[in-house]
């Protein structure tokens, strides 16, 4: 079955960096687009970034553009999010999500359990 | 761009039907049949319930249905059950610059 397991979250000071990882299994990772989505405590979902199956097409939300970098290693079945210049408002649970297949790849059909990032001094 | 607009809360009794609205603009919901809906129980990851306005993934109950009219999409849950109590989020493609927008979420209470 499809499994997505995030790791790398934790406590970091404002201005610091963190790298999140998402290990995928149960499907052919290299066939699927992937995304990162976050949820601040008690708040709604916020889409952050999207990467095509080859890594050649990438999109970012304005809130993280220039600070966060999405990447993937298809040989390792892994997705990454490098987060730099972290701010208090980046505190959230970060989810890795598989993008649905088909002509229109704009929905998320499987989600990981999330990893908590806390930005605080 | 702003998030899509959902009611903060809705409620219904077991067996009843409820509808959750998701209002966007002509730049997102109104322009594309690319609305999806997610169910999230407390402390859990979101689960896809509806995609491309009205398509149901395998394994999702047919009590869940989706529709769209103009700039507003809707999720209807019929035959409400206790386990339907959760937060629900809509999501829409919003063009190549904004890409994807989520709604603020709706808390469904089963009375």
Question: What are the 10-residue block averages of pLDDT along chain A, 121 residues in total?
Answer: 97 98 98 97 96 95 97 98 98 97 90 98 95
Separation between Cα atoms, residue A97 and residue A99, nearest integer Å: 6
Question: What are the 10-residue block averages of pLDDT along chain B, 111 residues in total?
Answer: 90 97 95 96 97 96 97 98 98 91 97 92
Asked if the Cβ–Cβ distance from B89 to A44 is below 8 Å, we say yes
pLDDT at B98: 85
Per-residue pLDDT reduced to its tens digit, B52-81: 999 999 999 999 999 999 999 999 999 999
Chain A residues inside the 8 Å CB shell of B103 = 44
pLDDT at A103: 81
Name B57's Cβ contacts closer than 8 Å, sequence gap at least 6: A109, B48, B49, B51
Asked if the Cβ–Cβ distance from B57 to A112 is below 8 Å, we say no
Cβ contacts from A onto B, under 8 A: 57
Which one-letter DSSP state was computed for residue B85? -
Residue B95, both tokens: 């063009």
Give the nearest partner residue to A106 out of B89, B93, B103, using CB atoms. Answer: B93
Nearest to A113 by CA among B86, B58, B43, B39: B43
Q: How many CB atoms lie within 10 A of CB B59?
A: 7
In angstroms, how far is CA B13 from the centroid of its own chain? 19
Buried b (16+ CB within 10 A) or exposed e, B74-92: bbebeebeeebbbbbbbbb
pLDDT at B1: 63
Determine contact, residues B55/B70, Cβ cutoff 8 Å.
no
pLDDT at A104: 81
pLDDT at A96: 98
Separation between Cα atoms, residue B5 and residue B9, nearest integer Å: 12
Instruction: Report the chain B residue with the minimal C-alpha distance to residue A43.
Output: B104
Angle (nearest 5°) at CA B74 between B71 and B77: 180
Asked if the Cβ–Cβ distance from A109 to B51 is below 8 Å, we say yes
């Amino acid at each position: 079955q499809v499994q997505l397991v995030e790791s790398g979250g934790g406590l970091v000071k404002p201005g610091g960096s963190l790298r999140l990882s998402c290990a995928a299994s149960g499907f052919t990772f290299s066939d699927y687009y992937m995304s990162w989505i976050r949820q601040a405590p008690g708040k709604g979902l916020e889409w952050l970034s999207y990467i095509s199956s080859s890594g050649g097409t990438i999109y970012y939300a304005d809130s993280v553009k220039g600070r966060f970098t999405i990447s993937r290693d298809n040989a390792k079945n892994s997705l990454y999010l490098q987060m730099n210049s972290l701010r208090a408002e980046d505190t959230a649970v970060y989810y890795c999500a598989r993008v649905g297949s088909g002509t229109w790849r704009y929905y998320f059909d499987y989600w990981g359990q999330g990893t908590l990032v806390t930005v605080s001094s | 761009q702003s998030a899509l607009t959902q009611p903060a809360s809705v409620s219904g009794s077991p067996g009843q039907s409820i509808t959750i609205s998701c209002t966007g603009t002509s730049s997102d919901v109104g322009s594309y049949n690319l609305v999806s809906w997610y169910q999230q129980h407390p402390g859990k990851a979101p689960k896809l319930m509806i995609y491309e306005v009205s398509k149901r993934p395998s394994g999702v109950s047919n009590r869940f249905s989706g529709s769209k009219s103009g700039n507003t999409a809707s999720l209807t849950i019929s035959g409400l059950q206790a386990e339907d109590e959760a937060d629900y989020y809509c999501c829409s493609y919003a063009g190549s610059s904004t890409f994807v927008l989520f709604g603020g979420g709706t808390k469904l209470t089963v009375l």
